[in-house]
Amino acid sequence: MKPFIGITMDRADGEKQIIPDAYVHAILQAGGTPLLIPTGVEKDIKRIVEALDGLLLSGGDDVAPYLFDEEPHPELGKVTPERDVTEVALARQFLNANKPILGICRGMQLLNIVCGGSVYQDITAQYDGPLLQHRQKAAKSFASHVVTLAPKSLLHQIVGRDAIRVNSFHHQAVREVPSPFVVTGQTSDGIIEALESVNHYFVLGVQWHPEELSIAGDTASQQLFTTFIKKCENL
């Protein structure tokens, strides 16, 4: 039976709950059944977690900095507090249940924050050192920079390579990394691009958007989604 994969949704203009189509198609392509999770369902989180086999924390706007005990930086982008509330509750319940989680872009940052970490509110203003272009101007399906993977890491095992080329659409990035996470992918400028838990069955976060690359035919991205779905099936 195909596993049910919850995908978190974003809010647009306070009137719509949306999700880019690529997330849905990447899950379908890998053999899962995607179910969309709107904001505002905090009272039903326990039942939702029981019903789902896996969770995909999607990308989107910035995470509110009060969640990691900081005041807003002048370069902080749009935040959506109601989305933060829902996703924090989902992430905590999934971690406690030890069910598979894949965090993408904002989703990886939120996972890190939930476990006690922090993010750069804006890497251009706060990161110490020269940076690559992390907000590419090319199409979403174009892999613009290289991520080096940690040997023997879960992500390294999944793709079978020491480095992969990925797309990039972010101005925030993981800063302090708490236990149980370890850094498993970085760019040449030192920005953290992948995390994974050493204490959970399958909890993995990536800073790029593999859903866009997967539906465009990128093998490494397809392997990531296929492995995620298999982990959800075998739980």
Q: Please say if 105 is a catalytic residue.
A: yes
Rounded Cα–Cα distance for residues 131 and 70 (Å): 23
Q: Which of 134, 145, 209, 212 is catalytic?
A: 209
Model pTM?
A: 0.98
CB–CB of 9/15 below 8 Å? Answer: no
pLDDT in tens, the chain (235 residues): 899 999 999 998 878 999 999 999 999 999 999 999 999 999 999 999 999 999 999 999 999 999 999 999 999 999 999 999 999 999 999 999 999 999 999 999 999 999 999 999 999 999 999 999 999 999 999 999 999 999 999 999 999 999 999 999 999 999 999 999 999 999 999 999 999 999 999 999 999 999 999 999 999 999 999 999 999 998 7
Total of domains in the chain? 1
Q: Please say if 156 is a catalytic residue.
A: no
Q: Which of 87, 105, 170, 212 is catalytic?
A: 105
Residue 205: closest CA among 180, 235, 171: 180
- Which secondary-structure segment (H or E) carries 123? helix 123-126
Tokens of 126: 């706060």
Strands (DSSP E) contained in 54-180 are: 54-57, 101-104, 119-120, 145-149, 163-166, 173-174
CB–CB of 156/101 below 8 Å? Answer: no
Q: Please say if 115 is a catalytic residue.
A: no
Number of H helices, E strands in the chain: 8, 13
Q: Which of 87, 196, 211, 212 is catalytic?
A: 211
Model pLDDT, residue 231 = 98
Beta bridge partners of 185: 149, 194
CA distances for 151 relative to 154, 156, 164, 211, angstroms: 9, 6, 13, 24
Residue 22 is part of which domain span? 4-234
Q: What is the CATH number of the domain that holds 198?
A: 3.40.50.880
Angle, CA 222 vertex, CA 219 and CA 227 arms, to 5°: 125
